[in-house]
Structure 1
Amino acid sequence: MFNGLRKGAAQAGDLVAVQGLGGLGHLAIQYAAKLGFRVAAIARGEGKRELALQLGASEYIDSSVVDPAKALQELGGAQVIVATAASGASMSPLIDGLGLRGRLIVVGAANDPIEVTTGSLIFGGRSIHGSLTGTPSENEENLAFSLANDVRPLVEVVALEEAGTAYERMMSGAARFRMVLTTTQEG
């Protein structure tokens, strides 16, 4: 998330949108806010608004109610959209929410393709980039930034004996947002 945002060519104060409020998205919102961007969180359902705002988003777009691309254009167009959802179909319409020379940074691994018209890319100079992780030195910078700026993952800690249950929670999407196994009980 950190390296994708830094390579997104946005400047402090620019609008950066984060699609998805899950394991990657909750970190992306924190990083974007701490990097000085104006952050719009895009997720499904009104129940996620409060968490998005607590994490640092200044705007919340409920994609089950409004067209996120239109909502982003009403905010001036996003310089960067970080797509964390594991769905190419949900990423495709976001391209029209990019401002001039905006970048869609794809970090969510999807099996279906991202579809885009050539006009959406050509007119406006938009682009699509993938981002995985960084080099060892970039990862060290990421950890140092996280520590200095209080960027923390939201985790559920469970005993190692409950690994099966933790795995089921993770696979079902019920985990908020990472499952951590421990050999000692926290008290």
Structure 2
Amino acid sequence: MRTVRSVLVDSPAGDLRIGSREVADPGHAEVRVTVEACGVCHTDSQFVNDQLPGIVFPVTPGHEIAGRIESVGPGVVNWQVGDRVAVGWSGGHCTHCNPCRRGDFVHCENAQVPGWAYPGGYAESIVVPANALARIPATLSAVEAAPLACAGVTVFNGLRRTGARPGDLVAVIGLGGLGHLAVQFAARMGFDTVVVARGQEKEKLAADLGSRHYIDSTREDVSAELLKLGGARVVLATAGNSDAMAAALDGLGPHGELIVIGIDAAPMKITPLQLILQSKTVHGHPSGVAMDTEDTLAFAAMTGIRPIVEEVPLEQASEAYRRMMDNQARFRIVLTTGA
């Protein structure tokens, strides 16, 4: 048992404060990780605001974690002290529910999400299940790896599970925390990449990240412009705006896929006929399990993909969280512990 600095939220929608939390020695099939960096994700608000079942306060958020193993519990194989590791949204799985028995770990009925099932990464040290660990390549820093463990794996895994092939037209809606990574992954995968965003001022950044085409949704008909380019095989909707997602549907070609990863409580206005005539599909995509995260990190290291981040010390977590939730941070904020 050891005592570490940790961010604590004492009650639903309460303030984030720096306090201390006791971190136990790792149990069976667990490891203790020294946290070097942890990304601030919009989804952290679901834990802070008590919007998911079973939240236990005080809450320590954080599910974009990068660090190194400091101790290993009994029953852990293939991991040792000093290994550099990342932990994302899929922070462990039970192995015994029906989805797990089918190997569908990302849909584990007892999903062990950091910050929900156990204290998260806004801390100096955490204990996690060994099956949550992904190896960090030597060429990625902890600050670079942390956002890739959630935002990165979500877009990478979402793209590679579609029917798109190199050379196909793939559009990314939004150029924020998810979108700026999605554009890089899409371009490096060999897709003819389109960015759909609001305003002309983002066009240069889109091109710098690898996009070959840009559609300003405030001035142009998104679907019409996509059809002029031949129709998209995939539209990856990273912006949390249901209207923007629906507006791109008619820009899909035959068998086109609208992949939804941006969150919006409003319904999408889509008619059955839009889907039927050209065999289009709309489906949601969760993040990915530990091996998916490891694949994401390896691909990013190999191809030079990096998140655009702002580093903030753990002591300023409250202000960093507020800015992220108020959309005052354009891409990613990463908390650092100085470890």
Same fold (TM over 0.5): yes
From 235, 238, 246, the counterpart of 1:92: 246
Q: Give the match for residue 43 of structure 1.
A: 197
Q: Give the match for residue 137 of structure 2.
A: none
How far the C-alpha of 1:139 sits from its partner, in A, is 1.9
How far the C-alpha of 1:137 sits from its partner, in A, is 1.8
How far the C-alpha of 1:93 sits from its partner, in A, is 1.5
**How many equivalent residue pairs?**
185
Q: Provide the aligned C-alpha RMSD in A.
A: 1.4
CA distance in 1, matches of 2:314, 2:161: 37
User: 1:25 and 2:179 equivalent?
Assistant: yes
User: 1:131 and 2:285 equivalent?
Assistant: yes
Q: Give the match for residue 273 of structure 2.
A: 119
Q: Give the match for residue 298 of structure 2.
A: 144
How far the C-alpha of 1:130 sits from its partner, in A, is 0.9
From 58, 69, 77, the counterpart of 2:223: 69
Q: Which segment drifts farther, 3-12 or 153-162?
A: 153-162
> Residues 34 and 149 of structure 1 are in contact (CA less than 8 Å); yes or no, is this contact kept in structure 2?
yes
Structure 2 residue identity aligned to 1:97: G
Q: Give the match for residue 264 of structure 2.
A: 110
CA distance in 2, matches of 1:172, 1:166: 10
How far the C-alpha of 1:42 sits from its partner, in A, is 0.3
Structure 1 stretches of at least 4 aligned residues deviating more than 6 Å after TM superposition? none
Structure 1 residue identity aligned to 2:231: G
Larger radius of gyration: 2
Structure 2 residue identity aligned to 1:67: D
How far the C-alpha of 1:16 sits from its partner, in A, is 0.2
Q: Give the match for residue 331 of structure 2.
A: 177
Cα displacement string for residues 43-85 of structure 1 (whole angstroms, at most 9, x for unaligned residues): 0011111111111100010000001111101111000000011
Structure 2 residue identity aligned to 1:46: Q
From 157, 175, 181, the counterpart of 2:311: 157
> Residues 80 and 98 of structure 1 are in contact (CA less than 8 Å); yes or no, is this contact kept in structure 2?
yes
SS in 2 for 1:16: strand
CA distance in 1, matches of 2:271, 2:317: 45
CA distance in 1, matches of 2:337, 2:278: 53
Q: Give the match for residue 12 of structure 1.
A: 166
Q: Give the match for residue 56 of structure 1.
A: 210
How far the C-alpha of 1:88 sits from its partner, in A, is 1.3
User: 1:101 and 2:255 equivalent?
Assistant: yes
Structure 2 residue identity aligned to 1:26: H
SS in 2 for 1:157: strand
How far the C-alpha of 1:176 sits from its partner, in A, is 2.7
Structure 2 residue identity aligned to 1:167: Y
Structure 1 residue identity aligned to 2:254: L
How far the C-alpha of 1:118 sits from its partner, in A, is 1.3
Structure having the larger proportion of residues in helix: 1
**Structure 2: gaps of 5 or more residues:** 1-154
SS in 2 for 1:166: helix
CA distance in 2, matches of 1:34, 1:122: 32
Q: Give the match for residue 232 of structure 2.
A: 78
CA distance in 1, matches of 2:291, 2:314: 31
How far the C-alpha of 1:123 sits from its partner, in A, is 0.9
CA distance in 1, matches of 2:212, 2:205: 11
CA distance in 2, matches of 1:55, 1:24: 13
CA distance in 1, matches of 2:336, 2:158: 30
Structure 2 residue identity aligned to 1:118: P
> Residues 41 and 57 of structure 1 are in contact (CA less than 8 Å); yes or no, is this contact kept in structure 2?
yes
